[in-house]
Amino acid sequence: MKKVLLFALLLYLAACSSGKQALQRGNYEESVLKAINRLRSNPDHKKARATLQEAFPLTVSYHQDKIGSLKSATEPFRWEKILDSYNTLTMLHEEIQRCPACRQLAPGSRSYLNEAAEARFQAASERYLAGEQAFKRDHSRVSAKEAFLHYRRANELQPDYRDVRAKMDEAYFYATLKVVLDQIPVHSRTLGLSHEFFQNKINEFASGVRMNEFVRFYTPQEAQTAKLKQPDHVVRLQFDDFVVGQVYLKESTETLTRDSVVVGQVEVDGVKQNVYGKVTAQFTAFRKTVSSRGLLDMQIFDPVANRVVNQQKMPGEFVWQSEWGTFKGDERALTKGQLDLCKLREVPPPPPQDLFTEFCKPIYAQVTDNLQRFYRNY
């Protein structure tokens, strides 16, 4: 609670600030904005008026000097810094125009939209040229990625500058690692299993997950449609082994007794009284467990280098069970839980396809986690 009150107090003090302290620290833009905000609520505030009169010319002078130095310099992408200065001066001008008390205190305020437009064009041109140079350097993925980022920045600065969109698309194609997720073969004539669930989930992952904008996953069908002749990687997924529907039946029988149970009544001197004794029962508990498990081998293969660059073994298991019970004898010898079991009957297990699907679910999670970790920084 104290922290909340302190934070609220700081916000209040900032709102009431005239900007004088920011000016003394050399934060010219901050001091100008604080003075403007103060004068909007109190046009006659002396400190705010004095601060604005002093801070605004200093701000303009600082940015004009910076612009002049950058124009005569040779540092890369200097036009973006020049653009930032023009945008800052224009923003301060607009703030002053929305404050009637501020206009007379900053007579040198003006818009720099024309200068900013020229700087934006020059900045886009500079980025476009940098993209051209990077792309022509060696046609590697690293160079293509660098080129794409330059082209994208050029398009942000000046939308549709020259043929920048086509250049972006071309650079992005060469910058992107193209990974084909191979089909998963499942061989089981006896059970007639289908890997459709697992394959569909993998396909969803391929089309929906972008943990890295420079990695693109393809299904084999998508790769064929895109006429992708040579992928960079092929992810091979294959079950080393799997068992579906391995049945275990556990049966346990015990004799139960309970003392002090009412077994009848007698009449003594005309009064009925309970007769207590021991009751027994034979209780049998059944537990059927159906276990299904598999081991998936995932290999990431580089067809250009003709080698496996990563390999993981991923297990999955699903255990289904059914419990029920029977008894002979006096049910009063049983606990409530045992009686509840005796009300149940044996339930048939799910079909093999459902069991196969269930043990595939944890494997799918491992596959996607491993792929995301492996390709995160590509």
Q: What is the pLDDT of residue 187?
A: 60
Q: Which residues contact 57 (CB under 8 A, 6 or more apart)?
A: 108
CA-based Rg of the chain, rounded to a whole angstrom?
39
DSSP secondary structure letters along 153-181: HHHHHSTT-TTHHHHHHHHHHHHSEEEEE
Q: What are phi and psi of 26, to 5 degrees?
A: 85, 10
Give yes or no for a contact between 367 and 314, defined as CB atoms under 8 angstroms apart.
yes
Cα(316)–Cα(239) distance, rounded to whole angstroms? 11
Q: What is the pLDDT of residue 2?
A: 42
pLDDT tens readout for residues 292-314: 999 999 999 999 999 999 999 99
Give yes or no for a contact between 279 and 260, defined as CB atoms under 8 angstroms apart.
no
For residues 30-39, average pLDDT: 94
Residue 13 has pLDDT above 60, yes or no: no
User: Which of these, 242, 276, 211, lies nearest to 352 by C-alpha position?
Assistant: 242
pLDDT tens readout for residues 89-147: 999 999 999 999 999 999 889 999 999 999 999 999 999 999 999 999 887 999 999 99
Residue 326: strand, helix, or coil: strand
